[in-house]
Amino acid sequence: MNSPVPQFQIDETFQAGQRRYAVILAGGSGTRLWPLSRSSMPKQLLALNGAETLMQDTIRRVGNMVDPTRVITVTHNDYRFEVMGQLHTIHPHLADGVLAEPVGRNTLPAIAWATAKIAKKQPDALIGVFSSDHAVSDPVSFQRAWAEAERAAEAGYLALFGMKPTGPATGFGYIQAAESLALHGAESVQRVARFVEKPNLSAAQSYLKEGGYYWNGGMFVFRADHFLAMLERIQPETHAALAALTGDDSKVAPLDLYQSLPNLSIDYGLLEHADKVAVVPVDMGWDDLGSWEAIYQHRDKDEDGNMKHGEVVAVNSHNNLLWSEHGHLATFGLENIAVVQTRDATLVCPRDKVAELKPLVAKVKEKCRTLTETHMTVTRPWGSYTILEEGPYYKTKRILVNPGAKLSMQMHHHRSEHWVVIAGTARIVNGENEFFLEENQSTYIPKTHRHRLENPGKVPLQIIEIQTGPYLEEDDIVRFGDIYGRT
């Protein structure tokens, strides 16, 4: 795995080696980062902290410690192809390790499913579980904490990462540490005294003053067999239901089996009832980037205190979050405002109110549902398409097909399509004919004709598609064959 993350180097007397696994939780949904996050494109799949997405950042961090064949990523079926695509660009084996939930069931079932799968091959696996949508600025500290947590896991503990507080945060749960476990090579690891819900400000301030309190970042390490034993004791029904699920080898969980699992977080379902829980204090520049304000705080600002992304011109403006995904954004005399601009929607909100976006997003959804669900660019297993414009009787798209990818053999009842290749080479099936199209060549597909688009080449294929007809929705499609199993 080609990675820019610095390598953690300590003289290890304990090496997890082939027993080290990582489970990445990538099923989260939510629209707290609307208009960038949408129900089809949650936070972990967005590039909020650099050039790659938060999930890709997570994988890079994990990638220096564990082989790609031992990384399991659990996501919702709706995000499956997007997740696989993002992982594939880092290492093809990562895409093979994607498990998809047909329905969200919170963290406990996701972790239990992945653990049971791993345990079938390696019962004493040391599994690190990581959120896919958090930021970590110091990957070496992350790696050191992981190695220390593994020693605690080997000693029978479920070992949590405890983030050293940098301020009296009220948005996170806290872990209070008790005595040291005195583990050789992991002296900082302590027993957990108690878990504390998100505190109010004065409580948070006293935790900070008192010391021994850490933010619960939802990252932990355990041994597969210890975890499953703990699950059997504390949640016997879940443990029993797992058996049927693990018996099925599919990477997409059958709906009936998965629905029978309880909707439970690992915190409420397991951690608060477990007896051997440890905390590894770590200062690794962690942030959950849970709102636009958190992103503003976490990211670099210019000399005027503006956090800028994309094409932005700010004059006499201070302490703003100015984020443009599409088009130019210009501000004058603006202070303490968050502006987030996408191809089809712009949010403008004072920074100190961006944590309360829910009623706004609900109102937007009421008015125009798609604005909260999809972007103008939609990912498909074969690549993506971007809607350039829609109008009465026509729709114009730019379609990007990845090298080697192939759309389904399909047919539409109500629309005809014109395709013009603007980059790469296409192999086309159009009715009875099969042929290649190069850049600057075109073809016309009348409605009811079977057709297929494929990129047989080594570089991305791009076409402009012009659809015409009285009905131009995505559900006017009859699939005859699809390498992604969508018929």
Q: Give the interface with a second copy as residue ranges (CB under 8 A).
A: 35, 311, 313, 315-316, 324, 327-335, 337, 339, 341, 343-350, 353-354, 356-357, 359-360, 363-364, 367-368, 371, 386, 388-389, 391-394, 396, 398, 416, 418, 420, 422-423, 439-440, 442, 444, 464, 466, 468
The distance of closest approach from Cβ of residue 483 to a second copy in the complex, given in angstroms and rounded to an integer, is 28
CB 334 → a second copy: shortest distance, Å? 6
Q: Supply angle C-alpha 73, 79, 80, rounded to 5.
A: 55
Taking the least distance from each CB to a second copy, the nearer of 140 and 371 is 371
The strand pairing partners of 418, in sequence order, are 444, 466
Please identify, using beta-carbon distances, which residue of 234 and 371 lies nearer to a second copy: 371
Rounded to an integer, what distance in angstroms lies between the CA atom of residue 360 and that of residue 341?
A: 15
| Dist. CA 8–CA 2, nearest whole Å | 15
Kindly tell me which of 111 and 445 has the beta carbon lying closer to a second copy. Answer: 445
| Shortest reach from residue 357's CB to a second copy, in Å | 6
Secondary element (H or E) of residue 293: helix 292-298
The two three-digit tokens of residue 421, written as one number: 């290749």
CB of 368 to a second copy, least distance (A): 7
Identify which of residues 126 and 337 has a Cβ nearer to a second copy in the complex.
337
By C-beta, is 110 or 334 nearer to a second copy?
334
Query: What is d(CA 224, CA 243) in angstroms, rounded to the nearest whole number?
Result: 15
What are the structure tokens assigned to 323, written together? Answer: 């984020």
Q: Least separation, in Å, of the C-beta of 457 and a second copy?
A: 16
240 or 422, CB closer to a second copy?
422
- Identify any residues that bridge with 435 across adjacent strands, giving them in sequence order: 428
| Nearest distance, CB of residue 424 and a second copy, angstroms | 11
Whether 138 and 287 have beta carbons less than 8 Å apart is answered as: no
CA–CA separation, 480 vs 487, rounded Å? 6
Residue 173 vs 460, nearer CB to a second copy: 460
Look up residue 388 and give its two tokens: 């350039």
Query: Least distance from C-beta 425 to a second copy, angstroms?
Result: 14
Closest to 29 in 3D by CA, of 101, 135, 128, 137: 101
How do 321-324 and 307-309 pair as beta strands?
Answer: parallel
Report the C-alpha gap between 72 and 69 in whole angstroms: 8
